[in-house]
Amino acid sequence: MRTQVAIVGAGPAGLLLAHLLAAEGVESVVVESRSEEYVAGRIRAGILEQSTVDLLRYAGLGDRLDREGDRHRGIHLQWPGERHHLDFVDLVGRAVHVYGQTEVQKDLVAARRAAGQQVVYEVGDTALHDLKTDHPSVTFTQDGEEQRITADVVVGCDGSFGPSRSALPSPSTWARTYPYSWLGVLADVAPSTDELIYAWHPDGFALHSMRSATVSRLYLQVPNGTAPEEWSDDRIWAALRDRLGHGQDGWAMTDGPITEKSVLPMRSFVQSPMRHGRLFLAGDAAHIVPPTGAKGLNLAVADVALLAPALVDLLRKDDTRLADAYSDTALRRVWRCTHFSWWMTTMLHTGGDPFDEQLQLSQLRWVTSSEAGATGLAENYAGLPIGF
Protein backbone atom coordinates (compact mmCIF):
# COMPACT_ATOMS: atom_id res chain seq x y z
CA MET A 1 0.00 0.00 0.00
CA ARG A 2 1.05 3.59 -0.60
CA THR A 3 -0.31 6.55 1.35
CA GLN A 4 0.76 9.96 2.61
CA VAL A 5 0.45 9.24 6.34
CA ALA A 6 0.63 5.81 7.96
CA ILE A 7 -0.99 5.94 11.41
CA VAL A 8 -0.25 3.19 13.92
CA GLY A 9 -3.11 2.90 16.40
CA ALA A 10 -6.86 3.25 15.85
CA GLY A 11 -7.83 4.78 19.17
CA PRO A 12 -9.16 8.34 19.46
CA ALA A 13 -5.80 9.97 18.68
CA GLY A 14 -5.19 7.97 15.51
CA LEU A 15 -8.72 8.23 14.14
CA LEU A 16 -9.07 11.93 14.96
CA LEU A 17 -5.78 12.66 13.21
CA ALA A 18 -6.94 10.71 10.14
CA HIS A 19 -10.23 12.65 10.16
CA LEU A 20 -8.53 16.06 10.40
CA LEU A 21 -6.04 15.17 7.67
CA ALA A 22 -8.79 13.94 5.34
CA ALA A 23 -10.60 17.27 5.74
CA GLU A 24 -7.49 18.93 4.29
CA GLY A 25 -7.07 16.44 1.46
CA VAL A 26 -4.29 14.38 3.03
CA GLU A 27 -4.62 10.59 2.68
CA SER A 28 -3.89 8.16 5.50
CA VAL A 29 -4.11 4.48 6.39
CA VAL A 30 -4.63 3.41 10.01
CA VAL A 31 -3.41 0.05 11.35
CA GLU A 32 -4.40 -1.43 14.69
CA SER A 33 -3.30 -4.59 16.50
CA ARG A 34 -6.62 -5.11 18.29
CA SER A 35 -10.07 -5.80 16.91
CA GLU A 36 -12.51 -2.98 16.20
CA GLU A 37 -14.78 -4.29 18.96
CA TYR A 38 -11.98 -4.33 21.52
CA VAL A 39 -10.89 -0.77 20.77
CA ALA A 40 -14.46 0.50 20.81
CA GLY A 41 -15.20 -1.20 24.14
CA ARG A 42 -12.24 0.07 26.17
CA ILE A 43 -13.54 1.97 29.21
CA ARG A 44 -11.25 4.94 29.65
CA ALA A 45 -11.63 8.68 30.13
CA GLY A 46 -14.98 10.38 30.51
CA ILE A 47 -14.20 14.09 30.92
CA LEU A 48 -13.65 16.34 27.89
CA GLU A 49 -12.01 19.74 28.28
CA GLN A 50 -13.60 22.74 26.62
CA SER A 51 -10.84 22.83 23.97
CA THR A 52 -11.47 19.15 23.13
CA VAL A 53 -15.19 19.81 22.74
CA ASP A 54 -14.47 22.84 20.56
CA LEU A 55 -12.19 20.81 18.28
CA LEU A 56 -14.67 17.95 17.92
CA ARG A 57 -17.39 20.42 16.98
CA TYR A 58 -15.06 22.16 14.50
CA ALA A 59 -14.27 18.78 12.93
CA GLY A 60 -17.97 17.97 12.48
CA LEU A 61 -17.96 15.37 15.26
CA GLY A 62 -20.01 17.21 17.85
CA ASP A 63 -23.63 16.36 17.01
CA ARG A 64 -24.05 13.37 19.32
CA LEU A 65 -21.81 14.96 21.93
CA ASP A 66 -24.13 17.97 22.03
CA ARG A 67 -27.22 15.75 22.25
CA GLU A 68 -26.01 13.17 24.74
CA GLY A 69 -23.04 14.71 26.54
CA ASP A 70 -23.51 16.24 29.97
CA ARG A 71 -22.08 19.73 30.39
CA HIS A 72 -20.66 20.32 33.87
CA ARG A 73 -19.86 23.74 35.25
CA GLY A 74 -17.34 22.38 37.77
CA ILE A 75 -16.53 19.76 40.40
CA HIS A 76 -16.98 19.15 44.13
CA LEU A 77 -13.95 18.88 46.42
CA GLN A 78 -14.57 17.08 49.68
CA TRP A 79 -12.96 15.90 52.90
CA PRO A 80 -14.70 14.56 56.04
CA GLY A 81 -17.31 17.06 57.18
CA GLU A 82 -16.93 19.47 54.24
CA ARG A 83 -17.87 19.60 50.56
CA HIS A 84 -17.20 22.61 48.32
CA HIS A 85 -18.24 23.31 44.74
CA LEU A 86 -15.82 24.96 42.30
CA ASP A 87 -17.69 26.62 39.42
CA PHE A 88 -15.32 26.66 36.45
CA VAL A 89 -17.62 28.82 34.34
CA ASP A 90 -17.69 31.55 36.97
CA LEU A 91 -13.95 31.24 37.57
CA VAL A 92 -12.51 30.96 34.04
CA GLY A 93 -15.48 31.00 31.64
CA ARG A 94 -15.08 27.36 30.53
CA ALA A 95 -16.93 24.14 31.32
CA VAL A 96 -16.19 20.43 30.87
CA HIS A 97 -18.33 17.71 29.35
CA VAL A 98 -18.98 14.18 30.57
CA TYR A 99 -18.81 12.07 27.41
CA GLY A 100 -16.96 8.77 27.55
CA GLN A 101 -13.99 7.86 25.40
CA THR A 102 -16.06 4.94 24.13
CA GLU A 103 -18.57 7.44 22.73
CA VAL A 104 -15.84 9.56 21.12
CA GLN A 105 -14.48 6.36 19.57
CA LYS A 106 -17.89 5.45 18.15
CA ASP A 107 -18.22 8.88 16.55
CA LEU A 108 -14.76 8.64 14.99
CA VAL A 109 -15.31 5.11 13.66
CA ALA A 110 -18.63 6.17 12.12
CA ALA A 111 -17.00 9.19 10.47
CA ARG A 112 -14.13 7.09 9.12
CA ARG A 113 -16.54 4.50 7.74
CA ALA A 114 -18.85 7.12 6.21
CA ALA A 115 -15.89 8.62 4.37
CA GLY A 116 -14.84 5.21 3.03
CA GLN A 117 -11.42 5.51 4.66
CA GLN A 118 -9.32 2.53 5.57
CA VAL A 119 -8.62 1.08 9.01
CA VAL A 120 -6.80 -2.26 9.11
CA TYR A 121 -7.58 -4.10 12.35
CA GLU A 122 -6.05 -7.17 14.00
CA VAL A 123 -2.56 -6.86 12.57
CA GLY A 124 0.53 -8.43 14.12
CA ASP A 125 4.29 -7.95 14.19
CA THR A 126 4.04 -4.24 13.42
CA ALA A 127 7.42 -2.63 12.73
CA LEU A 128 8.57 0.80 11.55
CA HIS A 129 11.33 1.29 8.95
CA ASP A 130 13.43 3.98 7.26
CA LEU A 131 12.21 6.73 9.55
CA LYS A 132 15.06 9.11 8.67
CA THR A 133 14.21 8.97 4.96
CA ASP A 134 11.49 10.70 2.95
CA HIS A 135 9.71 7.37 2.46
CA PRO A 136 9.31 5.57 5.80
CA SER A 137 7.24 2.43 5.95
CA VAL A 138 5.24 0.24 8.31
CA THR A 139 5.20 -3.54 8.00
CA PHE A 140 2.76 -5.91 9.67
CA THR A 141 1.21 -9.32 9.24
CA GLN A 142 -2.44 -9.95 8.52
CA ASP A 143 -3.92 -13.40 8.02
CA GLY A 144 -0.40 -14.81 8.05
CA GLU A 145 0.90 -12.59 5.25
CA GLU A 146 3.32 -9.68 5.57
CA GLN A 147 2.07 -6.30 4.36
CA ARG A 148 3.92 -3.02 3.88
CA ILE A 149 2.63 0.55 3.85
CA THR A 150 4.99 3.06 2.30
CA ALA A 151 4.26 6.65 3.33
CA ASP A 152 5.65 10.15 3.54
CA VAL A 153 5.11 10.28 7.31
CA VAL A 154 4.46 7.73 10.07
CA VAL A 155 2.54 8.73 13.21
CA GLY A 156 2.61 6.56 16.34
CA CYS A 157 -0.70 6.69 18.21
CA ASP A 158 -0.28 3.16 19.57
CA GLY A 159 0.02 3.82 23.28
CA SER A 160 2.70 2.92 25.76
CA PHE A 161 3.17 -0.69 24.63
CA GLY A 162 3.18 -0.21 20.85
CA PRO A 163 6.25 -0.26 18.60
CA SER A 164 6.33 3.48 17.89
CA ARG A 165 7.67 4.65 21.26
CA SER A 166 10.59 2.23 21.11
CA ALA A 167 11.46 3.32 17.55
CA LEU A 168 12.99 6.56 18.85
CA PRO A 169 16.72 6.09 19.48
CA SER A 170 18.02 7.19 22.91
CA PRO A 171 15.11 9.43 23.98
CA SER A 172 15.06 11.27 27.28
CA THR A 173 12.44 9.81 29.62
CA TRP A 174 10.96 10.80 32.96
CA ALA A 175 8.75 8.46 34.97
CA ARG A 176 7.05 8.14 38.33
CA THR A 177 5.05 5.22 39.73
CA TYR A 178 2.68 6.19 42.52
CA PRO A 179 2.32 3.97 45.61
CA TYR A 180 -1.39 3.30 45.06
CA SER A 181 -3.87 2.32 42.37
CA TRP A 182 -7.53 2.94 41.56
CA LEU A 183 -10.22 0.30 41.80
CA GLY A 184 -12.71 1.45 39.17
CA VAL A 185 -16.27 0.19 38.86
CA LEU A 186 -19.17 0.74 36.49
CA ALA A 187 -22.58 0.49 38.09
CA ASP A 188 -26.06 0.46 36.59
CA VAL A 189 -27.37 3.16 38.89
CA ALA A 190 -28.17 6.83 38.39
CA PRO A 191 -25.40 9.11 39.69
CA SER A 192 -25.91 10.33 43.25
CA THR A 193 -24.35 13.69 42.37
CA ASP A 194 -24.89 16.42 39.80
CA GLU A 195 -21.13 16.85 39.18
CA LEU A 196 -18.01 14.87 40.01
CA ILE A 197 -17.00 14.52 43.66
CA TYR A 198 -13.28 14.31 44.43
CA ALA A 199 -13.00 13.12 48.03
CA TRP A 200 -10.01 13.08 50.36
CA HIS A 201 -10.45 10.57 53.18
CA PRO A 202 -8.07 9.04 55.77
CA ASP A 203 -8.86 5.60 54.34
CA GLY A 204 -8.01 6.72 50.81
CA PHE A 205 -9.25 8.81 47.90
CA ALA A 206 -12.65 8.26 46.27
CA LEU A 207 -14.19 9.70 43.11
CA HIS A 208 -17.84 9.74 42.10
CA SER A 209 -18.10 10.17 38.34
CA MET A 210 -20.70 9.12 35.80
CA ARG A 211 -21.14 7.94 32.22
CA SER A 212 -24.81 8.77 31.69
CA ALA A 213 -28.04 9.50 33.53
CA THR A 214 -28.29 5.78 34.37
CA VAL A 215 -24.65 4.66 34.70
CA SER A 216 -22.21 5.70 37.43
CA ARG A 217 -18.41 5.45 37.27
CA LEU A 218 -16.76 5.23 40.69
CA TYR A 219 -13.21 4.86 41.96
CA LEU A 220 -11.49 3.92 45.21
CA GLN A 221 -7.83 4.27 46.15
CA VAL A 222 -6.39 0.82 46.80
CA PRO A 223 -2.86 -0.54 47.39
CA ASN A 224 -0.73 -1.47 44.38
CA GLY A 225 -1.12 -5.14 43.51
CA THR A 226 -4.79 -5.24 44.49
CA ALA A 227 -6.87 -7.74 42.49
CA PRO A 228 -10.47 -6.71 41.64
CA GLU A 229 -11.85 -9.94 43.08
CA GLU A 230 -10.52 -8.95 46.52
CA TRP A 231 -13.35 -6.41 46.65
CA SER A 232 -16.89 -7.72 46.85
CA ASP A 233 -19.74 -5.49 45.71
CA ASP A 234 -20.83 -4.97 49.33
CA ARG A 235 -17.32 -3.97 50.36
CA ILE A 236 -17.08 -1.51 47.46
CA TRP A 237 -20.36 0.21 48.27
CA ALA A 238 -19.52 0.38 51.98
CA ALA A 239 -16.18 2.05 51.23
CA LEU A 240 -17.77 4.48 48.78
CA ARG A 241 -20.46 5.47 51.26
CA ASP A 242 -17.86 6.07 53.94
CA ARG A 243 -15.33 7.98 51.82
CA LEU A 244 -17.89 10.02 49.87
CA GLY A 245 -19.81 11.11 52.97
CA HIS A 246 -23.09 9.23 52.87
CA GLY A 247 -25.41 11.02 55.30
CA GLN A 248 -23.31 14.20 55.39
CA ASP A 249 -25.65 17.20 55.22
CA GLY A 250 -28.45 14.91 54.10
CA TRP A 251 -26.59 13.59 51.02
CA ALA A 252 -27.26 9.95 50.19
CA MET A 253 -25.22 7.50 48.15
CA THR A 254 -27.38 5.16 46.05
CA ASP A 255 -25.93 1.78 45.12
CA GLY A 256 -26.85 -0.64 42.34
CA PRO A 257 -25.59 -3.56 40.24
CA ILE A 258 -21.85 -3.38 39.52
CA THR A 259 -21.16 -4.47 35.94
CA GLU A 260 -17.38 -4.04 35.74
CA LYS A 261 -14.38 -3.91 38.07
CA SER A 262 -10.79 -3.12 37.15
CA VAL A 263 -7.63 -1.88 38.85
CA LEU A 264 -5.68 0.98 37.30
CA PRO A 265 -2.07 1.61 38.37
CA MET A 266 -1.12 5.27 38.72
CA ARG A 267 1.94 6.52 36.85
CA SER A 268 3.44 9.48 35.07
CA PHE A 269 5.69 9.14 32.02
CA VAL A 270 7.08 11.65 29.51
CA GLN A 271 9.35 10.91 26.56
CA SER A 272 11.22 13.52 24.57
CA PRO A 273 11.43 14.23 21.71
CA MET A 274 8.05 13.39 20.20
CA ARG A 275 9.60 13.23 16.72
CA HIS A 276 12.33 11.24 15.01
CA GLY A 277 12.83 11.95 11.32
CA ARG A 278 9.51 11.24 9.65
CA LEU A 279 8.02 9.59 12.76
CA PHE A 280 5.81 11.66 15.06
CA LEU A 281 4.34 10.47 18.37
CA ALA A 282 0.97 11.48 19.80
CA GLY A 283 -0.94 10.57 22.95
CA ASP A 284 0.08 7.72 25.24
CA ALA A 285 2.93 6.76 22.91
CA ALA A 286 4.76 9.82 24.27
CA HIS A 287 3.25 10.52 27.68
CA ILE A 288 1.11 9.01 30.46
CA VAL A 289 -0.57 10.88 33.31
CA PRO A 290 -2.51 9.60 36.32
CA PRO A 291 -6.25 10.02 35.71
CA THR A 292 -6.87 12.33 38.67
CA GLY A 293 -6.64 15.46 36.54
CA ALA A 294 -8.72 14.04 33.63
CA LYS A 295 -5.93 14.83 31.15
CA GLY A 296 -5.09 11.61 29.26
CA LEU A 297 -7.54 11.76 26.36
CA ASN A 298 -7.46 15.55 26.31
CA LEU A 299 -3.67 15.59 25.97
CA ALA A 300 -3.89 13.16 23.05
CA VAL A 301 -6.44 15.41 21.34
CA ALA A 302 -4.22 18.45 21.95
CA ASP A 303 -1.27 16.60 20.34
CA VAL A 304 -3.37 15.79 17.29
CA ALA A 305 -4.67 19.37 17.06
CA LEU A 306 -1.04 20.54 16.75
CA LEU A 307 0.12 17.71 14.52
CA ALA A 308 -2.63 17.79 11.88
CA PRO A 309 -1.88 21.31 10.56
CA ALA A 310 1.86 20.60 10.85
CA LEU A 311 1.52 17.56 8.57
CA VAL A 312 -0.75 19.42 6.14
CA ASP A 313 1.86 22.17 5.78
CA LEU A 314 4.66 19.63 5.45
CA LEU A 315 2.99 17.44 2.85
CA ARG A 316 0.99 19.96 0.83
CA LYS A 317 3.16 23.08 1.05
CA ASP A 318 6.61 21.63 1.78
CA ASP A 319 6.62 23.98 4.79
CA THR A 320 8.48 22.35 7.68
CA ARG A 321 8.09 25.04 10.35
CA LEU A 322 5.15 23.59 12.29
CA ALA A 323 6.49 20.05 11.98
CA ASP A 324 9.89 21.15 13.27
CA ALA A 325 8.25 22.91 16.23
CA TYR A 326 5.77 20.12 17.01
CA SER A 327 7.69 18.27 19.70
CA ASP A 328 8.72 21.35 21.68
CA THR A 329 5.26 22.92 21.41
CA ALA A 330 3.45 19.75 22.43
CA LEU A 331 5.80 19.05 25.33
CA ARG A 332 5.12 22.44 26.91
CA ARG A 333 1.50 21.45 27.36
CA VAL A 334 2.43 17.88 28.29
CA TRP A 335 4.55 19.07 31.20
CA ARG A 336 1.90 21.54 32.38
CA CYS A 337 -0.71 18.78 32.40
CA THR A 338 1.75 16.33 33.96
CA HIS A 339 2.31 18.77 36.81
CA PHE A 340 -1.41 19.40 37.27
CA SER A 341 -2.15 15.66 37.32
CA TRP A 342 0.64 15.10 39.86
CA TRP A 343 -0.66 18.00 41.97
CA MET A 344 -4.25 16.71 42.03
CA THR A 345 -3.04 13.19 42.74
CA THR A 346 -0.74 14.08 45.63
CA MET A 347 -3.30 16.46 47.13
CA LEU A 348 -6.06 13.86 47.28
CA HIS A 349 -4.45 10.44 47.89
CA THR A 350 -3.44 9.43 51.38
CA GLY A 351 -0.36 7.47 52.35
CA GLY A 352 -0.65 7.14 56.10
CA ASP A 353 1.79 9.94 56.99
CA PRO A 354 0.05 12.29 59.50
CA PHE A 355 2.26 15.24 58.47
CA ASP A 356 1.42 14.79 54.77
CA GLU A 357 -2.27 14.49 55.60
CA GLN A 358 -2.28 17.84 57.36
CA LEU A 359 -0.50 19.43 54.38
CA GLN A 360 -3.14 17.97 52.05
CA LEU A 361 -6.01 19.28 54.14
CA SER A 362 -4.37 22.70 54.29
CA GLN A 363 -4.06 22.71 50.52
CA LEU A 364 -7.68 21.67 50.05
CA ARG A 365 -8.84 24.44 52.39
CA TRP A 366 -6.78 26.96 50.44
CA VAL A 367 -8.10 25.83 47.04
CA THR A 368 -11.71 26.00 48.21
CA SER A 369 -11.44 29.30 50.08
CA SER A 370 -9.11 31.30 47.83
CA GLU A 371 -10.31 32.65 44.49
CA ALA A 372 -6.73 32.48 43.23
CA GLY A 373 -6.40 28.82 44.27
CA ALA A 374 -9.78 27.86 42.83
CA THR A 375 -9.03 29.72 39.58
CA GLY A 376 -5.74 27.88 39.14
CA LEU A 377 -7.42 24.52 39.51
CA ALA A 378 -10.30 25.53 37.23
CA GLU A 379 -7.97 26.88 34.52
CA ASN A 380 -6.02 23.64 34.37
CA TYR A 381 -8.95 21.24 34.77
CA ALA A 382 -11.22 22.91 32.19
CA GLY A 383 -8.32 23.01 29.75
CA LEU A 384 -5.68 25.39 28.52
CA PRO A 385 -5.67 26.70 24.94
CA ILE A 386 -4.43 24.12 22.41
CA GLY A 387 -1.27 26.07 21.60
CA PHE A 388 -0.25 26.62 25.23
Buried b vs exposed e over 338-365: b needs ≥16 C-beta within 10 Å? bebbbbbbbbbbbeeeeeeeeebeebbe
Q: Are 121 and 35 in contact (CB under 8 A)?
A: yes
Q: Residues 19, 72, 76, 208: which is the catalytic one?
A: 72
Report the C-alpha gap between 56 and 133 in whole angstroms: 33
72 is catalytic: yes
Report the C-alpha gap between 133 and 117 in whole angstroms: 26
Number of H helices and number of E strands within the chain?
A: 12, 20
- 3-state class of 337 per DSSP? helix
129 is catalytic: no
Distances (CA, A) of 372 to 51, 358, 377: 22, 21, 9
Q: Residues 178, 198, 219, 326: which is the catalytic one?
A: 198
Q: Are 119 and 7 in contact (CB under 8 A)?
A: no
Q: Residues 208, 261, 295, 349: which is the catalytic one?
A: 295
| SS3 annotation, 54-112 | HHHHHCCCCHHHHHHCEEECEEEEEECCEEEEEEHHHHHCCCEEECCHHHHHHHHHHHH
381 is catalytic: yes
198 is catalytic: yes
295 is catalytic: yes
Burial label, 216 (beta-carbon count in 10 A; 0-12, 13-18, 19+):
buried
Q: What is the DSSP string of 125-152?
A: EEEEE-TTSSS-EEEEEETTEEEEEE-S
User: Which amino acid makes up residue 324?
Assistant: D
User: Hey, which residues are catalytic here?
Assistant: 72, 198, 291, 295, 381
